[in-house]
Structure 1
Amino acid sequence: MINGTHVIIYSRDADADRAFLKDVLGFAHVDAGRGWLIFRLPPAEAAVYPAEGFAHEVFLMCDDVRATMAELAAKGAEFTEPVTDAGWGLKTSLRLPGGGELGLYEPRHPVAHD
């Protein structure tokens, strides 16, 4: 089942933001290759706010994307794309009841969580 969340932060200066997360906030990290840091985050919460549009990109992480899809589909989840190999992981998307989407992926890079 779901075992983590991968949050993407878009930036005009990714190197500076990575340095801030590492050096200022002190987040532990792993190097996924070529200096691409993946940060360990503290426990998280999620909230749903009403909106006219959709402005989020959240990926749920799992150990086996196809098995997790089968579990979730059995509970009524709808997937909006087939599993594709993005290089960094096997990914798909699932539709939320309100019309948005969440990514679901099986990472192939080092993960920053237990």
Structure 2
Amino acid sequence: MINGAHVIIYSRDAEADRTFLRDVLGYPHVDTGGGWLIFKLPPAEVAVHPTDGAEKHELYLMCDNLEETITELTGKDVEFVRPAEDQGWGILTAIRLPGGGELGLYQPRHQTAHNL
């Protein structure tokens, strides 16, 4: 039935963000024509959190060792928008995309579902 998920990042500079995903993060991709790249993402999982405010969706990349990942990405001139913070359930930071958006990055301390 359902065999995947398609995530869309809206950007003020889509070309720069596509280049970032391709060249900096090294994600494999297909070109659907005219430079319109669609990227293969790492395995994923979805969680549903309660809210009393407006409904929204967020995207976070996950890693096994945040300290090593920060070092590697800093070496590629990636900007971090805030220092890593221990949230209890994981260690969280965010990176700045070239188009101006933020992309969450964390090292989970909870059991993950993406390899089930």
Could you tell me the TM-score, scaled by structure 1's length? Answer: 0.54
Runs of 4+ in 1 over 6 A off after TM superposition: none
AA partner of residue 114 (structure 2):
H
Work out the percentage of aligned pairs sharing the same amino acid. Answer: 50
Q: Corresponding residue for 1:74?
A: 75
Instruction: Tell me how far apart the structure 1 counterparts of residues 61 and 101 of structure 2 sit (CA, whole Å).
Output: 14
- Does 1:84 pair with 2:85? yes
Q: Corresponding residue for 2:47?
A: none
Q: In structure 2, do the counterparts of structure 1 residues 44 and 70 end up closer, same or farther at CA, with 3 Å as the change threshold?
A: farther
Aligned residues: 72
Q: Corresponding residue for 2:25?
A: none
Q: In structure 2, do the counterparts of structure 1 residues 43 and 72 end up closer, same or farther at CA, with 3 Å as the change threshold?
A: farther
Unmatched 5+ stretches in structure 2: 13-55
Q: Corresponding residue for 2:50?
A: none
Could you tell me the TM-score, scaled by structure 2's length? Answer: 0.53
- Over aligned residues, Cα RMSD in angstroms? 2.5
Q: In structure 2, do the counterparts of structure 1 residues 65 and 42 end up closer, same or farther at CA, with 3 Å as the change threshold?
A: farther
AA partner of residue 10 (structure 2):
Y
